Amino acid sequence: MKILVTGGSGFIGSHLCESLAKKHEVVCFDSLITGKKENLDGIGVEFIKRDIRKPFDAKCDLIFNLASPASPADYMGYPLETIEVNSLGMMNVLSNARKHGARVLQASTSEIYGDPLEHPQRESYFGNVNTLGPRSCYDESKRFAETLCHVYHEKYGVESIIVRIFNTYGERMRVDDGRAVPSFITQALEGKPLTVFGSGNQTRSLCYVGDLVNGMEKLAFSDMGFGAFNLGNPQEITINELAKTILELCKSKSKIVYSPLPQDDPRRRKPDISKVRKAVSWEPEVDMIEGLKRTIKWFRARGIV
C-alpha cells in the first residue's frame, strides 16, 4: 500500500512511520512546526515538508493524520495554527481521501473529554470542555475534526477511524514539550527538583508508544468503515506516584516541588478500552516500569545525565 502520514516527524508519527515502512511505501508530510526531521533518519520514509493547512493532492491508499501540535506547551504557543490544522487541514485530508478513495485514520485525543465528569471515559461520553479556556484551541479543534470526519463519511462515504489517544510516552519525546514524563526524567537526570503541578493527586493513564502504534495499525487495517475508539493504557497512576517512580528508576536524589495547577488541567484520566478490545483484540502489553526504563535509557543516550 501507499500510505501518507501527516505530522509524521513528530514523537508518535515517527514511530508510526518506522513501523509502517517495514511493509508499505510511506510518505511523510510535516511542516516541522513541532516535529523533527531527524526522527525519520534511516527508516526508509519519503519526507516532504508541507503544511496541510493548504490543499494538496497526494495519491495514496491510506492516510494517518497526526498533523497538529499536541502538548499543552505547543498548542498554547501556536493556538491559531492548532485550530487551523485541525479544521482546514482536516478538511484537506478528507478531500484528498475522497478524491483518491483512501481511508483515513484521524489521531484525536482524550482531551476531547475535557476535565471529565465520567470515569473511566467511554467513547459515548460527550465531554466537559471549556470553550474559553487556555486549552480550548486544541480541545475544541480536535472535536471539530471528529465532526468533519463524521460529515465526510455521511455525505461522501469517506471511511475514517478516529482514535482518541490518551497519555503516551516513549523514545523521541522532546525534552521541552512540557509533559510530565519527559519533564520528570530530564529534571531527575540533571539533579533538578521535579515540578508537580497542583497537589499531584490528579491521575494519568500512560501508554507506551509502541503499544499505541500497534493499536493504530490494527484499527487502520481492520474492516470497519467508521467509528471512534479510545487508545490508551487503563492502568491509572497519580502524578505524585509517577514522579516518585521516575526518581527511583533514575536513581536521583532530586526533590519534588509543587506549583499551582494550570487552568482546566484534567483531574482524572483513564480510558475505557472495552470497545477496541472487542473490535480488534488490542491490549497494551508493555509494563509501565519497563516502558519508563526504555525512555530513560533513550534520554541518557542523548546526553541528559
Burial 206-225, CB ≥16 within 10 A → b, else e:
bbbbbbbbbbbbbbbeeeee
Q: Name the β-bridge partners of 216.
A: none
Helix (H) or strand (E) run with residue 165 in it: strand 160-165
Cell numbers linked to 279: 473490535
Q: Is 197 exposed, middle or buried (0-12, 13-18, 19+ CB in 10 A)?
A: middle
Catalytic residue among 75, 113, 138, 169: 138
Give the contacts of 296 (CB within 8 A, at least 6 positions apart): 185, 189, 246, 249, 250
* Residue 138 falls in the annotated catalytic set: yes
Spatial distance between the Cα atoms of 245 and 239, rounded to a whole number of angstroms: 10
| Strand pairing class (160-165; 226-231) | parallel
Spatial distance between the Cα atoms of 68 and 100, rounded to a whole number of angstroms: 23
Q: Is 162 exposed, middle or buried (0-12, 13-18, 19+ CB in 10 A)?
A: buried
- Give the three-class secondary structure for 24: coil
Q: How many residues does the chain have?
A: 305
Spatial distance between the Cα atoms of 84 and 70, rounded to a whole number of angstroms: 14
216, 105 contact by CB (below 8 A): yes
Helix (H) or strand (E) run with residue 104 in it: strand 103-109
* Residue 150 CB neighbours (<10 A): 14
The catalytic site residues sit at 138
